[in-house]
Amino acid sequence: MRKLLAGVSLFGLAMGAALPASAEITWTGTLTATSDYKFRGISQTDNDPAIQGSFEIGHQGWAAGIWASTVDFTTDPGADVEIDLYLAYTHAFSDDTSLTGKFVYYWYPGANTPDADYFELIAALEHNFGKFSGNLKVAYTPDYFGGTDSGVWLGAGVEVPLNDWLSASGNVGYQWFDNNFGPAPNVGLPDYAHGDVGLTATWDIVALDVRYVMTDLSDAQCFGGTDVCDNKLVVSLTLSKSSE
């Protein structure tokens, strides 16, 4: 799986180099090593490290991309990678304000969990206030992971540049489920809140992110007694290359 993720990033970099040098076409490729893959506050790797990669092409407000990560679900040993395919469109109201609509398909090759794959529709409103930027996001799926029926997520974030190479940021979110625990024998989650706060340092193509990630879930509420919802410090190192 690590070879697959590295391949995604290397393929993205190669494709970017092959694209014509046009102001209308942009591309970005990334490769990340992280101490834990946390999605909305919950570890997707059983509290272990992950390797991640992505590639995106943009054109006149449109963006299409692929993002992948190693995963480790204790309830499903067949799933060892997550691949996200997405299409997005961003409308800029001004230089400081934009609205993005996004379709994301979450794919788990090899997963034994019924209805593991699902999609979300996401809307994000972003504004640069000068000394800081903020965003509001909402996501909806009619059929969440593992057959838990529909789900709604609401999130907000803020980022504050501290100098040319360091920024502070924080996010909060709340996840609702129509059917919290799914069909038997699944043991799921109640509705829950999550958040994170951290610092990101950048130098050339390298970014180091140190972030404390939190949820309001106890171990007893977390898939029937696991620790993947525990609060934790997560460290990530990302290499990125883009046409811009």
Phi, psi values for residue 175, rounded to 5°: -110, 125
Q: How confident is the model at residue 3 (pLDDT cuts 50, 70, 90)?
A: very low
Q: How confident is the model at residue 187, as a pLDDT?
A: 59
Phi, psi values for residue 103, rounded to 5°: -110, 125
Using CB atoms within 10 Å of the CB of residue 60, give its burial: 0 to 12 exposed, 13 to 18 middle, 19+ buried: exposed
Q: Which amino acid is at 91?
A: H
Q: How confident is the model at residue 31, as a pLDDT?
A: 98
Mean pLDDT value across residues 85-99: 97
Mean pLDDT over each residue of the chain, to the nearest integer: 89
Q: Which two tokens stand for residue 139?
A: 């996501």
3-class secondary-structure state, position 172: strand
**Greater confidence, 136 or 113?**
136
**Greater confidence, 136 or 73?**
136
Buried-state track 21-55, b at ≥16 Cβ within 10 A, e below 16: eeeeebbbbbbbebbbbbebbbbbbebeebbbbbb
22-60 pLDDT, tens per residue? 558 999 999 999 999 999 999 999 999 999 999 999 999
Residue written as token pair 């991640």: 52
User: In this model, does residue 68 exceed pLDDT 60?
Assistant: yes
Q: How confident is the model at residue 6 (pLDDT cuts 50, 70, 90)?
A: very low
Between CA 71 and CA 79 the distance in angstroms is 7
Q: Which of 172, 173, 242, 231 is nearest to 207 (CA)?
A: 242
183-241 pLDDT, tens per residue? 444 557 889 999 999 999 999 999 999 999 999 999 988 988 899 999 999 999 999 99
139-190 pLDDT, tens per residue? 999 998 887 789 999 999 999 999 999 999 999 999 999 876 654 445 578 8
pTM of the prediction?
0.88
Q: Which two tokens stand for residue 46?
A: 């059983």
Mean pLDDT value across residues 109-127: 94
Residue written as token pair 């014509």: 20
Q: Which two tokens stand for residue 93?
A: 């109201």
Residue written as token pair 């800081």: 132
Mean pLDDT value across residues 105-110: 96
User: In this model, does residue 2 exceed pLDDT 70?
Assistant: no
Q: How confident is the model at residue 181, as a pLDDT?
A: 60
Q: How confident is the model at residue 115, as a pLDDT?
A: 86
Between CA 124 and CA 156 the distance in angstroms is 9
